[in-house]
Amino acid sequence: MLPTDTRSPGYFHKVVDCQYACPAHTPVPHYIRLIAQGRYADAYMINWVSNVFPGVLGRVCDRPCEPACRRGRIEEQPVAICRLKRVAADYKTDISARLPQGPFPKNGKRIALVGAGPASLTVARDLAPLGYDLTLIDEGRAGGGMMRTQIPKFRLPDEVLDEECGYIEGLGIATRYGARVNSLKSLLAENYDAVFIGTGAPRGRDLEIPGRQEAAANIHLGIDWLSSVSFGHITAIGKRVIVLGGGNTAMDCCRSARRLGGEDVKVVVRSGFKEMKASPWEKEDAMHEDIPILNFLVPKSFTHETGKLTGVVFEKVRAEYDEKGRRALVHAGEPDIHMPADDVLIAVGQENAFPWIERDIGIDFDKWGMPVVDQDTLRTTHERVFIGGDAAFGPKNIIWAVANGHQAAISLDLFCQGQNLKTNRPGPHAALTSQKMGLHEWSYDNEISNSLRVTVPHAEKSASLTNIKTEVELGFGPDLAISEAARCLNCDVQTVFSDALCIECDGCTDICPVDCITFTDNGEEPDLRTRLNAPAHNLSQSLFVSGGLKTGRVMVKDEDVCLHCGLCAERCPTGAWDMQQFMYQSAKAGV
């Protein structure tokens, strides 16, 4: 193999698993260290720069970082990254003085942002300090989009959302709340330099089975129902509730129903438990609230008497896999089941809807009715129209919407400044800084904690089930936060190797607790992987290969399970190993 080029930002970026997995590339280990030091406001600002909504995401993020966490490959559980982020938001001091301070000198360009969800708010946050004249339009009475309408208050209190939307609105953005855009053509006619669409996936998918029309009064579409609950239009539900669907919306529906009078609430899912789309922790929380999850049941019809819903008939199925591993649900050969119910909530998926976009203004749509969009620039086929978040790619999650927002902001800025959206696109910022403080002292805590993942304290179930606004998770306090933060392996502090300094004394190989360093003859990667001191099966993780050493061998390090404990550098007599912090910041508009 050729020597690894550690100066290329891409190499060490991949080693920081959590940051790499985060769509917004938040420098996770860096802010976790700040939390451990009690520097909550500093940790918050690191987050705010990258993901814009630390308080919101610290509660309801989909956490792509946690399955990626290296700790999960070495012991059982990853670091509770999401809940640590919440600690930064909960315990920070007033950070308003650290935000960009307006008024900003105007640059004369006007941009309309349609929909005030996480994607549009991110665009607004990135572009306002650059002097853009921004108008945020949303049919709701306040900003936040689905974060406000679809996420129940017991998971995300209004104060948290109000605070973080307020930081952005405070940057001098014109808001048109309560106003609905009915025609993109007429919006474009208002002479905006560009338009960004961040309207999410606002339409709940329906279930057209017998009885749907007749029993309509007690059958509700999940996201519409959640939004009515959120605004206080709905305050009660029947005692027996069936929730259809296995995603996170279904989990929010069933838990909300429990709080509005539902005593016998069930979730019924077509697929098996493991294949459900809901995050494991959301399923756990639902089951903790005495909500059974019933699998492999396909709804066949709604039963009703005198126009009132009486229940749902389900067909029992089982999963069969063909030779290509594709799943088919086949009849299980058992009689159908009737479950009585007073209300049914349908949460079987969401769709995008663009009835307000004229099809003749130059925006192409594909055969599924989704706008054609450039994955990198987020521009539609119309020169002035950009789109991001769920509106562009279908239902995903908040952190993807934020990541799209950053990219759209870069594109909008380049476009308004007359630059090429692809060739002039800024690259990431990356820097390596040695952490050496003394002979065996580093400016990070390199002692590896053996403690297991800390569970988050919850409010008393009796209290949280009686008030839909009582937040269930209480979050870590400072002590629990320190214990959990210590579990972080500091994967951003990199093992940097200088082959010219190495004398091949084996000090690093001998001390490495996870046997990831080998000195051996060079070869092609598949061959090298078989000749290392410990198995290197994880092909998604790189091998770090040095240049030729004095004996003609090379140093090969399998990055897979490296603890970043720095013992290789401590046992190195010549400083050939050094621990260097890798700071990676993805590009932002104007930065």
Partner 1 sequence: MTFLPKPKLHHPDLAENALGYTRRDYEGAISTLCAGCGHDSISAAIVRACFELDLPPHRIAKLSGIGCSSKTPTYFLGNSHGFNSVHGRMPSVLTGANLANRDLVYLGVSGDGDSASIGLGQFAHAMRRGVNMTYIVMNNGVYGLTKGQFSATSDKGAKSKSGAINRDEAIDLVGLALQLGASFVARSFSGDKAQLVPLIKAALSHQGPAFIDCISPCITFNNHQGSTKSFDYVRAHNESINFLDLIPAREEITVAFEPGTVETVRQHDGSLLKLRKLDDTDYNPRDRLAAMSFLAKHRDAGEIVTGLLYIDPEETDLHDQLGTTATPLNSLTEAELCPGAAVLAKLNAALR
Which residues of this chain interact with partner 1, rule CB under 8 A? 73-75, 440, 446-448, 450, 503-507, 509-511, 513-516, 534-535, 537, 550-551, 561, 563, 565, 567, 570-574
| Alpha-carbon separation of residue 238 from 206, 210, 242, 561 (angstroms) | 20, 21, 10, 51
Q: By C-beta, is 36 or 291 nearer to partner 1?
A: 36
- Exposure string of 302-326, with b = 16+ CB inside 10 Å and e = fewer, is bbbeeeebbbbbbbebeeeeeeeee
Neighbours of 506 (CB within 10 A): 11
Tokens of 122: 């991110």
- Other beta carbons within 10 Å of 120: 32
Would you say 310 or 533 has its CB closer to partner 1? 533
Q: How many CA atoms lie within 13 A of 138 on its CB side?
A: 24
Q: Which is nearer to partner 1, 280 or 573 (CB)?
A: 573
Nearer to partner 1, 179 or 501 (CB): 501
Residue 73 CB, shortest distance to partner 1, in Å, is 7
- Shorter beta-carbon distance to partner 1: residue 292 or 513: 513
Residue nearer to partner 1 on the CB measure, 351 or 499: 499
Closest CA to 458 of 286, 239, 235: 286
Min dist CB 550 to partner 1, Å, is 7
280: amino acid identity, one letter: P
Nearer to partner 1, 351 or 570 (CB): 570
What 3-state DSSP class applies to 400?
Answer: helix
User: In whole angstroms, how close is the CB of 79 to partner 1 at the nearest point?
Assistant: 13
Q: How far is the CB of 291 from partner 1 (least distance, A)?
A: 35
User: What is the spatial distance between Cα 112 and Cα 188, in angstroms, rounded to a whole number?
Assistant: 9
The first and second tokens of residue 326, run together, are 């594709």
Shortest distance in whole angstroms from residue 503 CB to partner 1: 5
Residue closer to partner 1 (CB basis): 207 or 562? 562
Shortest reach from residue 125's CB to partner 1, in Å: 39
Residue 567 CB, shortest distance to partner 1, in Å, is: 6
Given the DSSP bridges, would you call strands 543-545 and 554-558 parallel, antiparallel or unpaired? antiparallel
Least distance between partner 1 and beta carbon 424 (Å): 45
Q: What angle do CA 340, 346, 352 make, to 5 degrees?
A: 170
Q: Two tokens at 154?
A: 């017991």
Largest separation between any pair of C-alpha atoms in the chain: 89
Task: Report in angstroms how near the CB of residue 481 gets to partner 1 at its nearest.
Answer: 21
When the beta carbons of 215 and 565 are compared against partner 1, the nearer one is 565
**Ramachandran category for residue 316: left, alpha or beta (phi over 0 → left; psi -120 to 50 → alpha):** beta
Residue 432 to residues 8, 11, 98, 495, 559, Cα–Cα distance (Å): 11, 12, 25, 11, 17
Strands (E), 269-379: 293-294, 297-305, 308-321, 327-331, 337-340, 343-346, 350-351
Q: At closest approach, how far in Å is the CB of 455 from partner 1?
A: 21
- In the bound state with partner 1, the residue whose beta carbon lies nearer, of 325 and 526, is 526
